[in-house]
Structure 1
Amino acid sequence: MADNSMITVSRTIDHSASEIFDVLTLPARHPELDGSGFVVSDDRTDRITAVGQVFTMNMTGEHMGGDYQTENHVVGYDKNRLLAWKTAPAGTEPPGWEWVWELTARGGDSTEVALTYDWSAVTDKELLQKIHFPLVSEQQLEDSLANLASAVST
């Protein structure tokens, strides 16, 4: 579902929440999950285990003039239930967009996974002129969920 400042997509994945969370908390696996094509690789990041951690990703995109890095500040962590981070260009504070993965066990080995891309806290007018939100489409988020389902299976 899309509104003016966030997009949320969801799907049921036939794996346990712990199996899915295991994939989500390894930044090295994020290029497999990315439906936008922006994520190239992680930058030697360990598993995400707590709020306050920062993980660095190597990215590419015309909106940033080619290759760049992001620092992702973990702002939500509840094992097997929630993982959220705010993204910033490397060396800067997060300017207001956030990625939220929510997992709801549905019994057995089935989990409802919701992915939210939220840019409602972006207020920098210069940034809003440079980057036209949403930078990632609803379809690309759906693709990320499909990629996650495939990644958990391997």
Structure 2
Amino acid sequence: MNHHKSDDQKIVVHRTIEASADAIFDVVTNPRRHKELDGSGFIRSEEHGDRITATGQVFTMNMEGDHMGGEYKTDNHVTGYAHDRLVAWQTAPAGTEPKGWEWVWELEPQGQHQTEVTLTYDWSKVTDKELLRKVTFPLIKKEELEHSLQRLAETV
């Protein structure tokens, strides 16, 4: 089956931030900092996880959200990594395999001290029909993604 990515299955936001790509990458690859970047308010803290340095790594976060009936944990499986350019992960309820939604951070240096940051929330790979019946995607609104970039700009 041929699945093309359509815009109704992903949200993409952009922002130019007054910081170098390596400074920004330093924040987005550190799970301990993700609460500071969370525009949704779901993240409570990092449970465990080292700095992201490669695909295949998993980091676990403590979360809280009404859609999950309160507190829960997520395992985040790193699916994309390019130093100072890209980091991506798919999120799953702790102890389960990712169901297909993915977060992608892309950094495009604009000279020495400016970086265009693109944040994509993509659920086009979600195929689990039961999940799609239970969960209305997107769980996160575009404003919340823009808020994450705003918070990133304030953090760096």
Structure 1 position 46, deviation (Å):
1.5
- Name the CA distance, whole Å, in 1 between partners of 2:125 and 2:36: 27
1:20 aligned onto 2:24: yes
TM-aligned CA deviation for residue 3 of structure 1:
2.3
Q: Helix, strand or coil: the match of 2:7?
A: coil
The residue correspondences of 1:1-154 to structure 2 (distance < 5 A) are 3-152=7-156
For residues 123 and 76 of structure 1, the distance between their equivalents in structure 2, rounded to whole angstroms, comes to 20
TM-score (structure 1 length as normaliser): 0.96
Shift of 1:44: 2.8
How far did 1:129 drift? 1.3
Q: Which amino acid aligns with 1:43?
A: E
TM-score (norm 2): 0.95
TM-superposition CA deviations, 1:46-83 (whole Å, max 9, x none): 11111110000000101111000000000100010000
* Partner-residue secondary structure (3-state), 1:114: strand
Structure 1 stretches of 4+ with a deviation exceeding 6 A read: none
Q: In structure 2, the residue corresponding to 1:11 is in which secondary structure?
A: strand
Amino acid at match of 1:128: L
CA distance, structure 1, for counterparts of residue 128 and residue 33 of structure 2: 31
What are the Cα deviations for residues 60-108 of structure 1, in whole angstroms up to 9, with x where unaligned? 1011110000000001000100000000000100001000000000002
Structure 2, unmatched stretches of 5+, are 1-5
Rounded Cα–Cα distance in structure 2 between residues aligned with 1:90 and 1:114: 27
Q: Which consecutive unaligned segments of at least 5 residues does structure 1 have?
A: none
User: In the aligned structure 2, how far is the partner of 1:23 from the partner of 1:118?
Assistant: 21
- Cα drift, residue 45 of structure 1: 1.8
C-alpha RMSD of matched pairs (Å): 0.9
